[in-house]
């Protein structure tokens, strides 16, 4: 009950943002409640980073209102409850990791111990290293420590795993999920659909400055409605199969065929009628990737 | 099944060690700013070491009668280079890095950011001068009353204000490369043409005519008049007033550049 009357973590109401003659956001409204884990998804340059910049108070809405815990994020003091990992942000190269994390802890009322944040980001052995001597991946960890150290209620993660290798990315996801387990509100932008699927309970898709979909990853996927039908066929060639399935997309994956279709039943009926001998048959729902492509019309 | 869930619930929730205090980051921010300057070799070399080094070379090789003039010139030079060049480069570099953008997501306001940086710059200038004063006094080359030393330091701190406003303007004007190039060239030209390196009377007529229009010349005049150097013209208060007028003008320029950057990147 208490949560239902709590102030939303973030609220955008009819927000428009213009850069000169370019309209980056075209009247979007979005409410993110406390405790939600939301992925803001979209191709590059469609308003994703702009919406985050507005939520953080880095930029001002041209029209409409933006609030952070019911308050104006443009005022510095209202940003005490948030931790931010920002794309294209830099840190002074001559400071040491420990000094910078300590500084960011002091921006908040109840920070973690600096050493704790450094440990959570996996930087114990780099604590006394100057930032200028870190690799890109290590710097990314520093940004994560900076976001965490204040013990914020909301974590903003702008493209948090860009430039990380697969292993580092998984490790990072574990850390995020650890934060989720503690009930933190998390707002992340990504163009990596696997990431949105792995972390978020809610996906907001932005394209051309508008929110074109908002729901759970499963709901977003169901927008597509199509299925992948995969099988091996023993008595037909690719050409015969191609003629049979007509306009539907046919891929050869290893020694299996994969067909994407909105009517898997009809497709299978046709195949069986033609006497196709199938094995290893699978019918699976389309992923977030296909949903995304279909939603953004690419 | 039940054991799994009960085990799950029984697990202590991950504890996070927190320290409880009200956010008051300025002291630590100030400390980090000082670290940044002292870990930056060009800032230490040009702003802090050079004035003293020049004094060691020229103050010791020339006639002792010139020592107070040389001291005053290098005090002004140190104050000038730190408040103008070190400050503008530091601001422009941090803008290019996106450091000020990251800070804007924190509870630190732009006013506190700039105010803290300005204070640290003035502190750096004071350190540069105190080092110079210590060498000049303890080597026995310059004999002045304590009040004169204090007055010289005070005058230079006041003089740093208009020049750091000019540094603020240059720091927000354009790219880091532009600021780096402009501030380096301007520091060299202005120091030279204001007579901070060698007395104006040794310089060509043209430069002597241009000098009174340069803010750094008035900074030099503050210093020379304070120590009673023959390079001074005896009008300490006039130069102080001119520097205040410069401060007002540079404040307008700085505000213009700052607001322009705000409108471009943060509006």
Percent of all residues in chain B with a pLDDT value above 70, rounded to a whole number: 91
Residue matched to tokens 């204070």: B119
d(CA B58, CA B199): 12
Torsion sign, CA atoms A152, A154, A156, A157: positive
Strands in A10-19's sheet, in edge-to-edge order, are A22-32, A10-19, A63-68
Closest in B14, B101, B267 to A86, CB measured: B101
What is the reported pLDDT for A203?
92
Residue B219's CB is within 10 A of a number of other CB atoms, namely 31
Q: How does DSSP classify residue B57?
A: I
H or E segment to which residue B194 belongs: none
| pLDDT tier for residue B3 given thresholds of 50, 70 and 90 | very low
pLDDT band at B4 (very low <50, low <70, confident <90, very high): very low
Residue with tokens 């019911």: A70
Contact A109 B17 (CB under 8 A): no
Q: For residues A262 and B181, which has the higher predicted lDDT (pLDDT)?
A: B181
Identify the residue whose tokens are 């350190």: B127
Q: Is A94 on the interface with B (CB under 8 A)?
A: yes
What is d(CA A268, CA A229) in angstroms, rounded to the nearest whole number?
Answer: 9
pLDDT tens for each residue of B123-168 = 999 999 999 999 999 988 899 999 999 999 999 999 999 999 999 9
CATH match of A227-296 with 3.30.70: yes
The answer to whether B79 and B128 have CB atoms below 8 angstroms apart is: yes
Q: What is the pTM of this model?
A: 0.83
Residues of B in contact with A111 (CB under 8 A): 18-19
Q: Residue ranges per domain, chain B?
A: 28-265
- Mean pLDDT over the full length of chain B: 89
Cβ of B104 and A89 within 8 Å?
no
Burial of A114 (0-12, 13-18, 19+ CB in 10 A): buried
User: How far does Cα A155 stand from its chain's mean position?
Assistant: 13
B213-236 tens-digit pLDDT: 999 999 999 999 999 999 999 999
pLDDT of residue B175: 92
Q: Is A100 on the interface with B (CB under 8 A)?
A: yes
Among B8, B106, B108, the strongest candidate for a mutation testing the A interface, having the largest count of A CBs within 10 A, is B106
Angle between helices B176-193 and B67-80 (to 10 degrees): 160
Asked whether this chain's domains A2-217 and A227-296 adopt the same fold, the reply is no
Would you list the domain boundaries of chain A? 2-217, 227-296
Read off φ and ψ for residue A283, nearest 5 degrees: -125, 115
pLDDT of residue B249 exceeding 90: yes
What per-residue confidence (pLDDT) applies to A248? Answer: 62
- Nearest CA distance, B250 vs chain A (angstrom): 27
- Give whole-number Cα distances, A123 to A119, A172, A230, B29, in Å: 6, 13, 44, 22
- The pLDDT profile of chain A, 298 residues, written as one tens digit per residue, is 444 468 999 999 999 999 988 899 999 999 999 999 999 988 777 788 899 999 999 999 999 999 999 999 999 989 999 999 987 778 999 999 999 999 999 999 999 999 999 999 989 999 999 999 998 888 989 999 999 999 999 999 988 888 778 888 888 899 899 899 988 999 999 877 788 888 999 999 898 899 988 999 888 877 766 778 888 888 888 888 888 777 567 778 778 888 878 788 888 888 888 888 888 888 887 677 777 777 777 5
Using CA atoms, how far apart are residues B245 and A283, in angstroms rounded to an integer?
A: 79
In CATH, which superfamily holds the domain spanning A2-217? P-loop containing nucleotide triphosphate hydrolases (3.40.50.300)
CA distance B99 to chain A (A): 5
Among the residue ranges A177-181, A281-285, B13-17, B108-112, the one predicted with the least confidence is B13-17
Closest-CA residue of chain B to A116: B17
Structure tokens at B40: 């930056």
Length of chain B: 267
| The residue count for chain A | 298
Return all residues near A281 (Cβ < 8 A) that are at least 6 apart.
A229, A230, A231
The reply to whether residue A90 touches residue B99, judged by beta carbons under 8 angstroms, is yes
How distant is the Cα of B49 from the closest Cα of chain A, in angstroms?
A: 19
Is B5 a residue whose pLDDT tops 60? no
Chain segment B65-74, per-residue pLDDT in tens: 889 999 999 9
Q: Is the predicted pLDDT of residue B59 greater than 90, yes or no?
A: no
Under an 8 A CB cutoff, do B32 and A60 touch?
A: no
Closest CA to A192 of A215, A224, A164, A214: A164
CA distance B124 to B26: 17
The helix (run of H) or strand (run of E) holding residue B145 is none
Q: Is the dihedral of CA A54, A58, A59, A61 positive or negative?
A: positive
């Amino acid at each position: 009950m208490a949560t239902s009357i709590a102030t939303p973590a973030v609220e955008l109401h009819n927000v428009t943002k213009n850069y000169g003659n370019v309209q980056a956001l075209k009247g979007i409204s979005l409410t993110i409640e406390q405790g939600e884990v939301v992925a803001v998804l979209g191709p590059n340059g469609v308003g994703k980073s702009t919406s985050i910049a507005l939520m953080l108070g880095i930029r001002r809405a041209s029209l409409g209102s933006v609030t952070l815990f019911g308050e104006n994020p443009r005022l510095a003091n209202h940003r005490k409850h948030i931790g931010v990992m920002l794309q294209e942000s830099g840190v002074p190269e001559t400071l040491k990791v420990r000094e910078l994390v300590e500084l960011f802890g002091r921006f908040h009322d109840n920070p973690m111990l600096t050493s704790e944040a450094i440990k959570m980001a996996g930087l114990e052995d780099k604590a006394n290293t100057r930032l200028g001597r870190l690799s890109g991946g290590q710097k990314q960890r520093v940004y994560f420590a900076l976001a965490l150290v204040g013990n914020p209620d909301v974590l903003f993660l702008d493209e948090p795993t860009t430039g990380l290798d697969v292993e580092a990315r998984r490790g990072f996801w574990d850390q995020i999920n650890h934060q989720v387990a503690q009930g933190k509100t998390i707002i992340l932008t990504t163009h990596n659909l696997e990431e949105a699927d792995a972390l978020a309970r809610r996906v907001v898709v932005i394209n051309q400055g508008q929110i074109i979909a908002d729901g759970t990853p499963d709901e977003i996927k169901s927008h597509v409605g199509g299925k992948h039908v995969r099988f091996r066929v023993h008595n037909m060639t690719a050409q015969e199969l191609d003629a049979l399935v007509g306009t539907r997309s046919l891929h050869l994956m290893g020694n299996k065929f994969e067909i994407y279709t909105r009517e898997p039943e009809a497709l299978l009926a046709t195949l069986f009628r033609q006497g196709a001998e199938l094995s290893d048959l699978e019918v699976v729902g389309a992923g977030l990737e296909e949903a995304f492509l279909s939603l953004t019309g690419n | 099944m039940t054991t799994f869930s009960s085990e799950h619930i029984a697990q202590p929730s991950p504890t996070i060690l927190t320290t409880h205090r009200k956010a008051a980051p300025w002291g630590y921010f100030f400390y980090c700013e000082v670290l940044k300057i002292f870990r930056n070799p060009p800032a230490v070399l040009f702003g802090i070491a050079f004035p003293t080094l020049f004094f060691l070379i020229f103050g010791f090789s020339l006639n002792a009668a010139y020592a107070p003039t040389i001291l005053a010139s290098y005090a002004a030079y140190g104050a000038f280079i730190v408040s103008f060049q070190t400050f503008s480069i530091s601001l422009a570099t941090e803008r290019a890095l996106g450091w000020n953008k990251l800070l804007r997501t924190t509870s630190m306001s732009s006013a506190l950011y700039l105010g803290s940086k300005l204070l640290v710059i003035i502190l750096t200038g004071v350190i540069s001068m105190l080092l110079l004063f210590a060498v000049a006094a303890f080597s026995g080359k310059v004999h002045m009353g304590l009040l004169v030393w204090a007055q010289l330091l005070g005058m230079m701190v006041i003089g740093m204000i208009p020049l750091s406003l000019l540094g603020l303007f240059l720091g927000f004007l354009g790219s880091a490369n532009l600021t780096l190039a402009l501030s380096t060239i301007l520091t060299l030209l202005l120091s030279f043409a204001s007579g901070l390196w060698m007395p104006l009377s040794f310089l060509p007529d043209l430069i002597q005519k241009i000098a009174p229009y340069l803010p750094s010349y008035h900074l030099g005049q503050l210093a020379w008049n304070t120590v009673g150097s023959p390079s001074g013209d005896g009008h300490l208060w006039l130069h102080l007033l001119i520097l205040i007028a410069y401060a007002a003008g540079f404040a307008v320029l700085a505000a213009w550049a700052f607001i322009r950057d705000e409108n471009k990147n943060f509006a």
